[in-house]
């Protein structure tokens, strides 16, 4: 119980919720598109059951991701992916959702939400698994992940429009979120089992790696976004 009262635990919860909000905007759009042809009385059921199925699937994916991160070099790969995801957050978004098919059948809409969320959840899974690594005791990582996802569900389902408007009005939120992913990438990379022989995983080195990752994302994202625009 004491582990749930530590600053590390609540910091990791905050990171998970922020990652899910930042990277969950597309998921909220998918939910709306998949359910748009449902009768009004079925839309709420489609949203709730589709979201619940997607969250359960994501917890399973994160469980496997966290298990795989115990293997040498995979944290380095995950860190590289997180860095790129953070950089992409800072670049203009050209992606659309024209391929999301609506349905007038409840089960078909739920299936669409779950399948689309599965395809789009690679960034969320890697980010959340990386954040959970910093939670402290290994036995509390999955409860932390589940708790963080549960907290983020109502924010995404009911507050996604407000959050997206807030991001449009205050782009600094997206920048901070991208740098957070860079921070997690740095701390994740330095704790890779392949580097244990070099004794790099100290508090000071982890802090330095986090700062370096955050600054790398900011620098690359700013540079590439200027070139793209």
Asked whether residue 228 is domain-assigned, the answer is no
Rounded to the nearest integer, the mean pLDDT of the chain is 77
What pLDDT shows up at residue 210? 93
3-state secondary structure the chain: CHHHHCHHHHHHHHHHHHHHHHHCHHHHHHHHHHCCCCCHHHHHHHHHHHHHHHHHHHHHHHHHHHHHCCCCCHHHHHHHHHHHHHHHHCCCCCCCCCCCCCCCCHHHHHHHHHHHHHHHCHHHHHHHHHHHHCCCCHHHHHHHHHHHHHHHHHHHHHHHHHHHHHHHHCCHHHHHHHHHHHHHHHHHHHCCHHHHHHCCCCHHHHHHHHHHHHHHHHHHHHHHHHHHC
Identify the pLDDT of residue 197: 76
Is 227 part of a structural domain of the chain?
Answer: no
Question: Against a cut of 0.85, is the pTM above it?
Answer: no
pLDDT band at 223 (very low <50, low <70, confident <90, very high): very high
For residue 206, give its domain range. 2-220
Residue 225 has pLDDT above 80, yes or no: yes
In a domain, 226, yes or no: no
Structural domains counted in the chain:
1
pLDDT tens digits along 186-222: 988 988 888 877 878 788 998 999 999 999 999 999 9
- What pLDDT is stored for residue 120 in this prediction? 65
Query: Residue 112: pLDDT above 60?
Result: yes
Q: pLDDT tens for residues 26-39?
A: 666 667 667 777 88
- In-domain check, residue 200: yes
């Amino acid at each position: 119980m004491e582990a749930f009262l530590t600053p590390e635990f609540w910091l990791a919860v905050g990171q998970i919720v922020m990652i899910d909000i930042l990277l969950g905007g597309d998921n909220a759009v998918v939910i709306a598109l998949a359910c748009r042809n449902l009768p009004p009385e079925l839309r709420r059921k489609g949203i709730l059951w589709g979201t619940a199925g997607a969250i359960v699937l994501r917890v399973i994916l994160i469980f496997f991701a966290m298990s795989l991160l115990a293997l040498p070099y995979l944290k380095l790969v995950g860190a590289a992916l997180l860095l790129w995801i953070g950089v992409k957050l800072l670049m203009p978004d050209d992606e659309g959702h024209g391929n999301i098919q609506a349905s007038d059948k409840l089960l078909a809409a739920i299936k669409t939400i779950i399948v689309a969320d599965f395809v789009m959840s690679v960034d969320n899974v890697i980010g959340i698994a990386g954040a959970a690594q910093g939670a402290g005791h290994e036995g509390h990582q999955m409860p932390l992940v589940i708790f963080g996802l549960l907290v983020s569900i109502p924010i995404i389902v009911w507050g996604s429009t407000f959050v997206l408007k807030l991001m449009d009005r205050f782009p600094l939120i997206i920048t901070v979120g991208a740098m957070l992913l860079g921070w997690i990438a740095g701390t994740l990379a330095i704790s890779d089992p392949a580097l244990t022989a070099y004794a790099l995983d100290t508090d000071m080195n982890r802090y330095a790696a986090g700062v370096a990752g955050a600054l790398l994302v900011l620098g690359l994202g700013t540079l590439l976004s200027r070139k793209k625009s």
